[in-house]
Structure 1
Amino acid sequence: MIAQPHDRRRFLALAGGGTLALALAGASTSAVWATPRFREDPFSLGVASGEPDPHGVVLWTRLAPDPVAADGAGGMPGKAVSVAWQVAEDPRFRHVVRAGAEQATPELGHSVHVEVGGLRPDREYWYRFRVGSELSPVGRTRTAPRQDARLTSLSLAAVSCQNYPDGHFTAYQHLAQEDLDVVLHLGDYIYEGAAQGRLGRGHLPAAETFSLADYRVRYGQYKSDPHLRAAHAAAPWLVVLDDHEVENNWANEISQADSEPDQDPAVFLQRRAAAFQAYYENMPLRLTSRPHGPDMRLYRHVPFGGLAQISMVDTRQYRDDQACGDGRRIDCVERLELERTMLGQEQEQWLLRGMQRSAATWQIMGNQVFMMQADHEAGPVQAFGMDTWDGYYAARRRLLSGVRDRGVENFVVLTGDAHRSVAADLKVDFDDTTSPAVGTEFLGTSVSSGADGRDMDDLGRTWLAENPHMRFHNAQRGYMRITATPRELRTDYRVVPYVTTPGAPVHTRASVFVEAGRPGIAHVTA
């Protein structure tokens, strides 16, 4: 279901003339703060980079001396501020190769998005910012290789689901020590709810987020975590949102079915626009991803030489509503309807076309909700979750048939959301055990959502018993480390034994291998 023009006009009429409308239009009416002075560190949220290409990256920071100030302003006055930036070939900035200044405006939460060009392909760089007499922390980044470059390897990590009250971000402490070319964040960077938990890490604001100020405060709280800041400063990121950056299980213009006051689609579009703006303000995204009201372009192809193309998709903005009222369902006929879509027709064709045209060895899809079939019920009865691709049966079959029919080789899907890890073969027909694999999915666990977890649980045992295409399962916290070479792709499931107290060690629970030219999992070492 694509939002119609009258819905957009209705949103703009509701938003009319305020700070949100000005920010989304790119306008600023603020005076300039010529000589800024700060009592607290304006770079409390750290620095980040993202969207690498062969000649540049996006550099990000957001000025916030008081990141959880209730008004969402981060302790900044309502004035624009000039922020200087530098990029160097060494961490001590003896050889600065690019420099400039950008305006941080109150309309965009005093965030800065610098699209640096003129850099060399496949090179490490270091960057920093300055405002007044204050210097930011130093970040490390890396440009992508030339599109025709023959790489021997690519190293990336994939993360998702970092619920602040559920646990410490220990996974990021370890991820920041990895030598990575890029990090993929696959959604649920924040959680919108009012949960307070038992760890002394309760949500701010304490109520559920609805307004732009609410979302800004929530990002300010999450990004105050030192391990998250360290992971951002260690490597460039590619990000995409899922549901909790807005509201649990939202679908296109449709809010979650509950008793909250955002059930009117027009009111939900206001909330979505506020959430999208806050997301953009806090992520190292290009101008092409800047939201326009409740719309935000997040799907894109990012090539890494001739070795891999990463296609980040958006499974929220263009999908149909969840079938059969959402939840877990048995015998839900609605989920089988042929016209149902997860990506929307335009994005679906863009994805298949882009993978078919790519000459890269590996086609990696950054995805939010798992694609594999997951029967949740022991025995002959089948039960499926309606928010995942299981609730969009025809859309999944179209996509996987398209991968097969277009001759797309080495299709690998990286997914978050489920708070557990699974490695599985992807098939056009999951109910036919003789149906050949057309790709592989690596579902990665959460950073902290779900608290400590355990190696195996009842659902994991059911999944492995009822879904023969699943080859590995674990329900602890952590992240995926993926290494691609021209011959194989290896996913290491890096897990920590606990997150409800800090300082947990990390270890590799399993390594799962896919061989180039042979769809599906080759072998698992655990």
Structure 2
Amino acid sequence: MTQPSSADSEYRAAARQLCRRRLLTGTAATVSLALGVNLPRPAHAAAKLDPARIDKDPFTLGVASGDPLPDSVVLWTRLAPDPYTPDSGLDRQPVTVNWELAGDERFTRGVRRGSVTAHPEFHHAVHVVPENLQPRTRYYYRFRVGRWTSPVGRTRTAPATGDSSGSLRFAAVSCQAYHDGYFTALGHLAREEDVDAVLHLGDYLYEYAVDAHGGDRADPSLNLPDAFNKETTTLEDYRLRYALYHSDPDLQAAHAAHPWIVTWDDHEVENNYADETPDGSPPEAFLARRAAAYRAYYENLPLRPPQQPSGSSLQLYRRLHFGRLAQLDILDGRQHRDDQSAGDGWQVPTDETGRPDRTMLGSAQERWLADGWKSSNAVWNLVPQQTVLSRRRDRTTGPYPLSMDAWDGYPAARRRLLDAARTAGVKNLAVLTGDVHVHYAMDIKEDFDDTGSRTAGVELVTTSVASGGDGVAKPGDWQTFLDANPHMKFYDGRRGYVLVTLDRRRLRADYRTVDLVTRPGAPVATAASFVSRAGDPGLEPL
């Protein structure tokens, strides 16, 4: 089924839309935004490029799929014959891309096919959404341009609305700093069987400079251009950085093997930013930078059309249903939050920290989440999100510094979230978290000061893919953290991911680890496994 022709005009309109927020109150700021985003000319002003003229493989960045529904899924690729150049070797001309969806890897059982235009406004990325598919079904897809054919991707749709049979498996990943090491964990994830979706919980890329040999990868064969050896601030910078990340073979393999459901944290823009408040950028330029980063994020990930950015805003929080087994409420804990109190790091809370109106999600997202829980009929309510929800103390005696960037820095917002879950009657809450570069398994307590208080749900925190470099099973603060946080059942400092398998009776979390990432090829192992039983929240070791 060919994508509707109206999509071309909609894409062009979206590409030209400028920020509607307060940055536009002054002429100088408007110019700053326009220059920061570097909007190209409308696509209709340029003739289409003859695909026969493309003499290099345009599929250097692989393929991906995402946001599965029972009857559709997003298919993604971006054309880049020369991925490390600003125009990717396509002279800023639109290109026609053909796509195919089939029921088998050899494409003998065709299901859908069509064509779509890869516009230079979107850096020659395409987001195809084939519809009227069968639920809980595996499909294969590929793209063609001229004589070139992309790698084959594998995806699957979600179960039908009322389906509560069988089981589901998700993989939680986070924090993949290219300059800190290889994406070995993603290579192993690509080979995991029966994964319904990968949940990426933020820090898909990092804004920091990457030297010619890939930082701690120390690969003399890379010889990266100087354009990577600086912090990302412009649209061109962010686009090039995504090209670098997508060139990684393990990341490509994981995208091609499973559909992805993504949300961001801070490094997709700038470390520890909060809504319109930057951590290090000049405030007058920050929204232009954020607009550029959000635009590149959409261009380079398998997101649906409602997630197209509007200037410096992007509607990222959204809800996906996997039959009656799981409802996924994917949160955005970065774009709508209040600024951190008492600094961004670990600090003793202040009166400002405890202010009752402070928010992590913003009032609109809080209402959306509460309303979604009230109407949920799923066995499991999963919440993929960015920063640690449960309280963490780093010492056994007070005064207790807490992480001001995590939910500990927003205690009133955490209280409202837990109250909303209780009011809605959510019995099986599982929060999936990234950010901290370590594995945690934690019970979410109604009152963290009372170990005997009700357990409201469980929090499964995945470690990083590469961020932080090589880790160890027991970091120096390992025993202190376990002693200071009795609701913490597990702590491991190695790299990896978490496999989450659930059915009507229980949820199982397998913490997968690799011992090193500064050299490729480390094996993967399961460091620990836990279960939480439906109707009886709390983690038990296996």
Instruction: Work out whether the TM-score is over 0.5.
Output: yes
State the distance in 2 between where 1:35 and 1:148 align.
44
Q: Tell me by how many angstroms 1:194 deviates.
A: 1.5
Aligned to 1:297: 315
**What does the per-residue CA deviation read over 1:52-88, in whole Å, with 9 as the maximum and x for residues that have no partner?**
101110000000111111xx22222110000000000
Q: Does 1:66 align with 2:82?
A: yes
Aligned to 2:296: 278
Task: Say if 1:366 and 1:378 are closer, same or farther in 2 by CA, change over 3 A.
Answer: same
Structure 2 residue corresponding to 1:6, chosen from 14, 18, 22: 22
State the distance in 2 between where 1:9 and 1:395 align.
31
Structure 1 residue corresponding to 2:515, chosen from 466, 473, 497: 497
State the distance in 2 between where 1:451 and 1:473 align.
17
Q: Tell me by how many angstroms 1:28 deviates.
A: 4.9
Task: Say if 1:254 and 1:27 are closer, same or farther in 2 by CA, change over 3 A.
Answer: farther
> What amino acid sits opposite 2:49 in the alignment?
W
Superposition TM-score, scaled by structure 1 size: 0.94
1:168-207 matched pairs, under 5 angstroms:
168-179=182-193, 180-196=195-211, 197-200=215-218, 205-207=228-230
**What does the per-residue CA deviation read over 1:451-486, in whole Å, with 9 as the maximum and x for residues that have no partner?**
110001123322111011111110000000110010
> What amino acid sits opposite 2:228 in the alignment?
P
Q: Does 1:363 align with 2:357?
A: no
Q: Does 1:223 align with 2:246?
A: yes
**What does the per-residue CA deviation read over 1:312-333, in whole Å, with 9 as the maximum and x for residues that have no partner?**
1000010000011221102423
Aligned to 1:38: 54
> What amino acid sits opposite 1:150 in the alignment?
S
What's the secondary structure of 1:491's corresponding residue?
strand
Structure 1 residue corresponding to 2:402, chosen from 384, 387, 390: 384
Q: Does 1:243 align with 2:266?
A: yes
Structure 2 residue corresponding to 1:513, chosen from 531, 535, 538: 531
Q: Does 1:75 align with 2:93?
A: no
State the distance in 1 between where 2:81 and 2:89 align.
5
Conserved? CA contact 2:403–2:409, under 8 Å: yes
State the distance in 2 between where 1:378 and 1:498 align.
31
> What amino acid sits opposite 2:286 in the alignment?
F
> What amino acid sits opposite 1:170 in the alignment?
T
Q: Tell me by how many angstroms 1:494 deviates.
A: 0.4
Q: Does 1:140 align with 2:154?
A: yes
Q: Tell me by how many angstroms 1:18 deviates.
A: 9.0
Q: Tell me by how many angstroms 1:19 deviates.
A: 7.0
Q: Does 1:29 align with 2:52?
A: no
State the distance in 2 between where 1:229 and 1:385 align.
33
State the distance in 2 between where 1:88 and 1:453 align.
41
What's the secondary structure of 2:99's corresponding residue?
strand
Q: Tell me by how many angstroms 1:524 deviates.
A: 1.0
Q: Does 1:263 align with 2:282?
A: yes
What's the secondary structure of 2:155's corresponding residue?
strand
Q: Tell me by how many angstroms 1:391 deviates.
A: 0.4
Structure 1 residue corresponding to 2:428, chosen from 410, 435, 458: 410
CA RMSD of aligned residues (A): 1.8
**What does the per-residue CA deviation read over 1:244-301, in whole Å, with 9 as the maximum and x for residues that have no partner?**
0000001000110x4xxx322x310000000011111100000100000000001111
Aligned to 2:16: none
Q: Tell me by how many angstroms 1:195 deviates.
A: 4.7
Q: Tell me by how many angstroms 1:8 deviates.
A: 4.7
> What amino acid sits opposite 1:63 in the alignment?
L
> What amino acid sits opposite 1:240 in the alignment?
T
State the distance in 2 between where 1:503 and 1:319 align.
39
State the distance in 2 between where 1:333 and 1:376 align.
20
State the distance in 2 between where 1:439 and 1:269 align.
36
Q: Does 1:352 align with 2:363?
A: no
More displaced stretch, 33-42 vs 312-321: 33-42
Conserved? CA contact 1:369–1:417, under 8 Å: yes
1:103-118 matched pairs, under 5 angstroms:
103-118=117-132
The count of aligned residue pairs is 513
State the distance in 1 between where 2:240 and 2:20 align.
31
Task: Say if 1:248 and 1:359 are closer, same or farther in 2 by CA, change over 3 A.
Answer: same
Q: Tell me by how many angstroms 1:15 deviates.
A: 3.3
1:82-93 matched pairs, under 5 angstroms:
82-93=96-107
State the distance in 1 between where 2:478 and 2:299 align.
37
What's the secondary structure of 1:56's corresponding residue?
coil
1:124-163 matched pairs, under 5 angstroms:
124-163=138-177
**What does the per-residue CA deviation read over 1:338-376, in whole Å, with 9 as the maximum and x for residues that have no partner?**
010000011011112112211110000001011010012
Q: Tell me by how many angstroms 1:434 deviates.
A: 2.1
Conserved? CA contact 1:159–1:479, under 8 Å: yes
State the distance in 2 between where 1:336 and 1:222 align.
39
Task: Say if 1:294 and 1:226 are closer, same or farther in 2 by CA, change over 3 A.
Answer: same
> What amino acid sits opposite 2:65 in the alignment?
S
Task: Say if 1:52 and 1:381 are closer, same or farther in 2 by CA, change over 3 A.
Answer: same
Aligned to 2:12: none
Conserved? CA contact 1:174–1:506, under 8 Å: yes
Conserved? CA contact 2:138–2:155, under 8 Å: yes
